[in-house]
Structures are given as C-alpha cells and as structure tokens.
Structure 1
Amino acid sequence: MTREKIIEFLKSLDPKKLIHASNFLAKLKVYDSSSSEQKKAFDDLLPIYYNYLQENLKLKGFSNEIIEQRTVLLNNYYSFIFENNYDNIFKSQSKFRPTIIEEFLYLLFNDLIEELKIKNKDEKDVLKVGTIKAYSNLYFTAKNLNNFINGPSVGINTKDQDFAIYRPLNLSIQDIGTYSTNIPVVSIECKTYIDKTMLEGSIATAEKIKSGNPYSLFIIITETYEVDLKVDPVYSRINQIYVLRKTKRKDANQPIYTDVLIDLVNLIKNHLERDWSDIQNKLSNHGKII
C-alpha cells in the first residue's frame, strides 16, 4: 500500500483508542523539520506498523491463542524497532514507544468489552475504552460568604490515565450547574520502565483514583521493573504491577511474555464479570464482610 493510502487509513481511526496511530500522525506534522535520521525511521516504520496493525485488527476474541498471536505480532514489531536502532530516534517527550503498549491494550481488550456491553444491554454505548482524564474527587469553592450562599463553584480533580475502561458521567448539582467527568472501573498506567520515584507517583495516583471509585482496579503495566526489590508495593492501593518482559534490566533483551498478558486479561475479565458489592451474600455464605 502507498504511503498516502496508509496515512489516509490512520486518519480514519479513533485517536483515543489507536493512540500509536495518532502518534505517527503527530510525527507526520513535523516531518519536514525532522532530522534525516528521523525521516528515515518514520518512512521505514510506517509500512511495518501498518501491517502490524492490520494483522491485529484481523484477530477476533480474547482466548489464550488469540492473545499469543497478538503477542507474537507485538514482539515482531518491537524487534524491527530495536534491530534498526529506532528505539531512541525520536524524543522521549513524543511518546513513540509508550504509545505502543497503550494502543495494544485497546486491541487486547476491545472484543471483551464489546461482548460485555451486549451482555449488560449497553444499548446507549455507555461503556468505553481508551486514554482519559479519570475522576478522582469533587470540591466546592467560593470567594466569600455571599458567593458561598448564592452560587459556589464546583471543581473536579482528574488524573490522566493511559488506558481505562470507563463511562462518561454528567453530574447535575441543583442551583450550581452540570459537570462532565469520566469514571473508570479499570485504570491502567503504562510505562516503558518503572523506578522508585515513578512507583511513588503511581501509588499516590492509585489512592486518588480509588477514592473516587473504590470498585475500580488500578494496574501498572511496565516493560521492565527497576525498583529495589526491598520495596514492596503491596501496602498500596495498586491492584497489580505487570512486568511484561519479566526483568529489571532495560537491556536484557527479553521478549514480551504471553502468560503475563493472559493473566492481565483474566484479572480484568473476572473483575468486570463479578459483583463488586454483595454484603448479604458475603455475610450469609462466608461470614465475612470485606
């Protein structure tokens, strides 16, 4: 397929879901001012990415076999990037590499979400997936007592999340106004690697997200784990940290492991299919409440 046709196809995609495609389009806008090395990388990567994406879109379902096939495609795409030394050709701020996993999560979960929407009669297309500003808390402000009595303002704090399964929600507050926000039931931070400082930031984010919705899962997905092993995040409100390459070293040359992704899918699937609050059942059948 020609370069023009590929670009036309990428422009037709939802940028909140296929965010790596959106990253290519962002780089296209600055193509003329890019270095010769960056131009070559873009030209080489574009058809490889297009083929990778098309093969992923052909796969349907979320069985272990399908997840394995997606993992093979993902590892092949990474291999092309690494073998040609394109990993660091673009500025880190441009998020070329991080958006690979962010987009892969959409490909991994889209069919599951569509199935659950049918089962739960989501005829209004309420349940959504993609990158969002996730609700954490609501607060009231007023300049003085008069303003407090006659029309205080409302603010909504949000946290940027790389991937989420969520629903938009409009909040109407009498005499004040209507506000829009996004409530996640699964919230995921994606990282190329994670160190102690980044982990501390994620722990704080998990606390805020889950104070806004206690029934939300908060997950970190990282390629490598560079936190001292003496630091145990079990005390935090993070539900799980998945290390896709099962290593602490960036240069270990490990692949993405299928079994890690299978466990991730199962965790989220089980969470979305179970009851989040059924105290009567817990009391009667198990004799415990939490």
Structure 2
Amino acid sequence: MPAHGDVLTSKMNGSLKYEDEIARAYLGEIMREYQNWSEENASIKGPYSEKTNGDSELIHKRVSAFNRYKDFIDQKKYAEKFDSWSNLHSSALEEFLEHLFYDLVKELGSGSAISRSHVFFSTSSILAKPQTDRFDLPVVAIDCKNYLDTAMLESSSTAGTQIRICNSDAMYVICTEWVKLTDEVNLKKFDVDQIYVLRKQKGIDREFRFDESYKKNPIYADVVEKLFNDIRDHLTTDWEALVDERLSTGVLK
C-alpha cells in the first residue's frame, strides 16, 4: 500500500492513540477523501521517460489534486487531533511523489528500452545471483519533509554523504513544503543536490497557521515540474556519452 494510505490504515486498525470516537470519525472522513484523491491520481497517466509537450499539463493536474487533498487534511480540526508526530502530512507528500514518479519508474524498470546503464535492481536479487559485470546504478533519494530547519538540513546532508559513499552517481534532494532557514545558512556547504520548497514560503509554528492574517501558499506546480524534470534527466542521461558530446566545448561537467 502507498505510504500515506498505509499510515491511515494503521491508525484506523491498530493505533490505541486514535481509538476515541472523534478520532475514528475524523479518520473516516480523511479516508474517504484519500480514496477520491487516489482514484483521481490513478486516472492520470504519465509523465514518462520521454519528454512531451503534455508533461506540464499532467503535472499541473497531479498538483491540483494534491492541493485539494492537502487543503482538506490541513483543516484546523485535523491539525489539532493529529500532531506532527502522527506522520499524517509527511506521508501525504511521500505518496504524492509516488504518484508523480510511478509511470516513469515503472517504464524504466521494465528494461524494454533501457540500457544496462539504467538498471533498477533489488539487493536480494543481486545477492542471490552475484554479478561480476560492471553496473552504473542511478540512485535518487528524495528526503520528504513538512518543513526544513537547520538541524534537519545538517542531518539530511549527512545522509546524502553516506549515500554517495555507496554510489557516487547518486542524486540526493530534499522536498519540503516550508523552510525555517535564515540567510545566514550557507547552503553550499551541505551535501545536498537541491532543495525544493513546494510552497515557496517560510514556515511558521503550527498554532499560527490558522490565524486569519496568515496566507498559506499552495503547492506550486512549477516547483514540482522542476523536481520531476531534474530527476528524470538524472535517470535517463547516458553518462558515458557525455564526454564525447561535451568535449568540443572544453567543459565536461
């Protein structure tokens, strides 16, 4: 089951913390809205590995559907009942990205038109049948957050370093709704390829998000489109061909 759906199901079926009548009613309301969101996503096909003129429209449709769902679960009554430790909101972002990249990854994983430089694999299959051949393993790690502060950024940077030690071709990015960073933070020192702030907005404490004076930005489709295109380019680029292709420019990277 997708990330967010799994969180909702576990809360409805096994969490002692949410057994009271109000929590059960709220979870039922959210689950119905979640099913509508899931069905809407299932009706959207793409984008895929090959770039088309329709990619932007597809991404805008997915973002519009996600904004509607997020606005629903971001209601004050739900925020008061399910705190940040409930994983309700971060798992929703994770599942949105699952929907966004599902068709791309499914296509690449099929191997039908992808060279061995773009193989997707499971560690269990590699251990069961050891390979002596050379593999280039494109890895993309997306760290999903409701908001990003300096301590979280430092932790993410450490994770990015560890991933690249295992695979120098890895791409490590952070995807967050809000940031809580100041101008004093030197982003260049962190081992993160990119930080995508979906709402283009600094975060405030939860209790102030429902003040009438606060204007919550939507999740912007252009940021999501940039995220998708960057990752698609990373997964579909023929790295070995880049040297010959760029040699005439004198700049290889």
Give the shorter-chain TM-score range.
0.7 to 0.9
User: How far is 1:88 from its partner?
Assistant: 4.2
Distance 1:100 1:21 in 2: 8
Query: 2:79 aligns to what SS in structure 1?
Result: coil
> Using a 3 Å threshold, how does the CA distance of structure 1 residues 28 and 121 change in structure 2: closer, same or farther?
farther
Q: Which amino acid aligns with 1:229?
A: D
Structure 2 equivalent of residue 3 of structure 1: none
RMSD of the TM alignment (CA)? Answer: 2.5
> Using a 3 Å threshold, how does the CA distance of structure 1 residues 235 and 31 change in structure 2: closer, same or farther?
closer
Structure 2 equivalent of residue 22 of structure 1: 6
Distance 1:275 1:78 in 2: 37
Q: Does 1:41 align with 2:4?
A: no
Distance 2:176 2:152 in 1: 11
Structure 1 equivalent of residue 113 of structure 2: 119
Instruction: Trace 1:189-228 onto structure 2 (pairs within 5 A).
Output: 189-228=143-182
Superposed CA deviations along residues 80-108 of structure 1, whole A, max 9, x for unmatched, are: 12235213422433311111010111100
Q: Which amino acid aligns with 2:230?
A: L
User: How far is 1:46 from its partner?
Assistant: 1.1
Query: 2:151 aligns to what SS in structure 1?
Result: helix
Instruction: Trace 1:55-204 onto structure 2 (pairs within 5 A).
Output: 55-62=40-47, 63-117=55-109, 118-120=112-114, 127=120, 167-169=121-123, 170-171=126-127, 185-204=139-158
In the alignment, structure 1 segments of 5+ residues that lack a partner are: 1-14, 128-166, 175-182
Q: Rg larger in 1 or in 2?
A: 1
Distance 2:242 2:98 in 1: 33
Does structure 2 retain, via aligned residues, the 8 Å contact 1:282–1:288? no
User: How far is 1:70 from its partner?
Assistant: 0.8
Query: 2:74 aligns to what SS in structure 1?
Result: helix
Superposed CA deviations along residues 6-26 of structure 1, whole A, max 9, x for unmatched, are: xxxxxxxxx3xx111111111
Q: Does 1:255 align with 2:218?
A: yes
From the two aligned structures, give the one with the greater helix fraction: 2
Q: Which amino acid aligns with 2:60?
A: E
Distance 2:64 2:232 in 1: 22
Does structure 2 retain, via aligned residues, the 8 Å contact 1:56–1:70? yes
Distance 1:278 1:210 in 2: 22
Superposed CA deviations along residues 12-70 of structure 1, whole A, max 9, x for unmatched, are: xxx3xx11111111112236762333112101111111011101111011211111111
> Using a 3 Å threshold, how does the CA distance of structure 1 residues 87 and 188 change in structure 2: closer, same or farther?
same
> Using a 3 Å threshold, how does the CA distance of structure 1 residues 121 and 282 change in structure 2: closer, same or farther?
closer
Q: Which amino acid aligns with 2:105?
A: I
Distance 2:247 2:61 in 1: 43
Q: Does 1:242 align with 2:196?
A: yes
Higher relative contact order (Cα pairs below 8 Å, separated by 6+ residues): 2
Superposed CA deviations along residues 238-270 of structure 1, whole A, max 9, x for unmatched, are: 110000110012434111000000001110111
Q: Which amino acid aligns with 1:235?
A: K
Query: 2:81 aligns to what SS in structure 1?
Result: coil
For normalisation by structure 1, the TM-score amounts to 0.70
Query: 1:254 aligns to what SS in structure 2?
Result: coil
User: How far is 1:235 from its partner?
Assistant: 2.6
- Equivalences, count: 224
Identity %: 31
For normalisation by structure 2, the TM-score amounts to 0.80
Q: Which amino acid aligns with 1:61?
A: G
- With 23-32 and 274-283 compared, the bigger mean Cα shift is at 274-283
Does structure 1 retain, via aligned residues, the 8 Å contact 2:37–2:69? yes
From the two aligned structures, give the one with the greater strand fraction: 1
2:39 to 26, 46, 54: 54
2:227 to 243, 250, 264: 264
